[in-house]
Structure 1
Amino acid sequence: MYKLFYYPRNASWAPHMLLAEMRLDYELVLVDRKTEAQKNPEYLKLNPTGRIPTLVVDGEAIFESAAICLWLCERHPDKNLMPAERTLARAKFYQWLFYLNATLQPELMMYFYPQKHSADPLTHAAIKQTQQARVGDILSLIDGELTDKEFLLGNQISACDFLLFMLLHWASGFDKPPLAYTNLSRFMRSFSQRETVKKVCEIEGTLLGIYEIE
């Protein structure tokens, strides 16, 4: 059985949804960020970065959300959440997984935590404004990619889509949120209706009302 150390709507959200989608046996362990439990010595033994998530299996700990998702896909190829080896589709899978993890997520983190990038409080508002524009460019790119597609890789769902859903939800409070983009809006509204997504959101206490079709 897998053991996922999580906190609602943190980076653990994507692997949580993926575990549910794969219908794997897993246990959830809440890491309470409100009390900075991710900095506790016992947790740091599992994840020395002091971040969430961590996946424990067979006594070994794995951290980094995208790495966990990729490894689960490799370990359970029968779940068909990653294209076949040595195909162009597999290359596209890697492309989008790494782009979301290494480009979109860091830009969002800079927006949410400007104090970590400048010691001057007077610059924080400017950083957030700049990041909205930078993230907006990324959202426009992905919106274009989703033209005439149900998922990032076409009509076949993959682990990339769970990571995308998580990151887009994080940006829901932007001046121009993902729901303001034609294809991103369609993707989010449709994806939020998946039974596994709804199940995980119920467990984590995440409301999906903003994605209801008007």
Structure 2
Amino acid sequence: MYKLFWAPGTAAMAPQAVLEEIGVAYEMAKLDIAAKQHEQAEYKKLNPNGRIPTLVDGDFVIFETAAICQYLADRHPEANLVPALGSHARGRHYQWLTYMTNTVQVGFVDWFHPDWTFADAGRQAELKIASEAKLYRGFQVLNDGIGQNRWMTGEQFTICDVYLAMLTRWSRFLDKPMWTWPNIRRVAGAAHVRPAFQRMMQKQGIAWAENWPKD
């Protein structure tokens, strides 16, 4: 059985939603962020960075959200959560998963946690402003890349769409949330209402964005 180390509303959202999409049994191991359980030595034996999430599969341990999602999708090809190997859609899948992780998610880290980079309050404020501008540029790239596709990579629902929905929820505190961009709103909206994503939120005890616009 898989064991997922998680905390509500963190990057553990995506792999847990993927586990729900696959439909396999898994154990949830909640980490208390306020008590800094993720920084304790026992957890760092699994994830040396002390970040969330981490997945344990028997004797195998894997961290980094995108890697966990891809690993699960590869382990369960019957769930059809990644495009076919060698296809153009698979290339787009790699592109968007990498972009969301390496560019957009990094922007969120700087916006939510400028103190991780600077101790000085003034420099933290500067980083927060700069990271918000960077996020908006990233949202535009995602929106343009999605275009009129049904899902991020085309007609097939993939783990990229799960990831997009997670990031969209994170954006609810920004002046311009991700759903300000219409293609993101359409795809993230369709992804977050899927039963698997809804089950993940219920199990984590979290809600969708309260300020999601009413149609």
- TM-score calculated relative to the size of structure 2: 0.94
Which amino acid in 1 is paired with 2:83? Answer: P
Structure 1 match to 2:106? 106
Q: Distance in 2 between matches of 1:131 and 1:121?
A: 15
The CA deviation at 1:4 is 0.4
Residues 8, 52 of structure 1: CA spacing in aligned structure 2 closer, same or farther, 3 A cutoff?
Answer: same
Q: Is the 8 A contact 1:118 1:124 kept in 2?
A: yes
The CA deviation at 1:17 is 0.4
Structure 2 match to 1:87? 87
Structure 2 match to 1:167? 167
The CA deviation at 1:126 is 1.9
Residues 164, 171 of structure 1: CA spacing in aligned structure 2 closer, same or farther, 3 A cutoff?
Answer: same
Q: Deviations over 1:59-91 (max 9, x none)?
A: 221111111111111111111101111222211
Q: Distance in 2 between matches of 1:42 and 1:6?
A: 15
Structure 2 match to 1:132? 132
Q: Deviations over 1:145-173 (max 9, x none)?
A: 22212211112101111111111211111
Q: How many residues align?
A: 214
State how 1:39-54 maps to structure 2 within 5 Å. 39-54=39-54
Q: Considering only aligned residues, what root-mean-square deviation do their CA atoms show, in Å?
A: 1.4
State how 1:52-201 maps to structure 2 within 5 Å. 52-201=52-201
Q: Distance in 2 between matches of 1:161 and 1:200?
A: 15
Q: Distance in 1 between matches of 2:95 and 2:181?
A: 22
Q: Distance in 2 between matches of 1:157 and 1:37?
A: 34
Q: Deviations over 1:86-120 (max 9, x none)?
A: 22221111111111111111111111111222222
Question: 5+ residue gaps in structure 1?
Answer: none
- TM-score calculated relative to the size of structure 1: 0.95
Q: Is the 8 A contact 1:143 1:184 kept in 2?
A: yes
Name which of structure 1's ranges 182-191 and 94-103 shifts more when overlaid on structure 2. 182-191
Q: Distance in 1 between matches of 2:86 and 2:155?
A: 19
Question: 5+ residue gaps in structure 2?
Answer: none
The CA deviation at 1:193 is 1.3
Q: Distance in 1 between matches of 2:66 and 2:134?
A: 22
Q: Is the 8 A contact 2:73 2:79 kept in 1?
A: yes
Q: Distance in 2 between matches of 1:189 and 1:76?
A: 25
Q: Distance in 1 between matches of 2:49 and 2:161?
A: 25
| 1:46 counterpart SS class | coil
Which amino acid in 2 is paired with 1:32? Answer: D
The CA deviation at 1:3 is 0.5
The CA deviation at 1:131 is 1.1
Q: Deviations over 1:165-190 (max 9, x none)?
A: 11121111111111222122222322
The CA deviation at 1:194 is 0.8
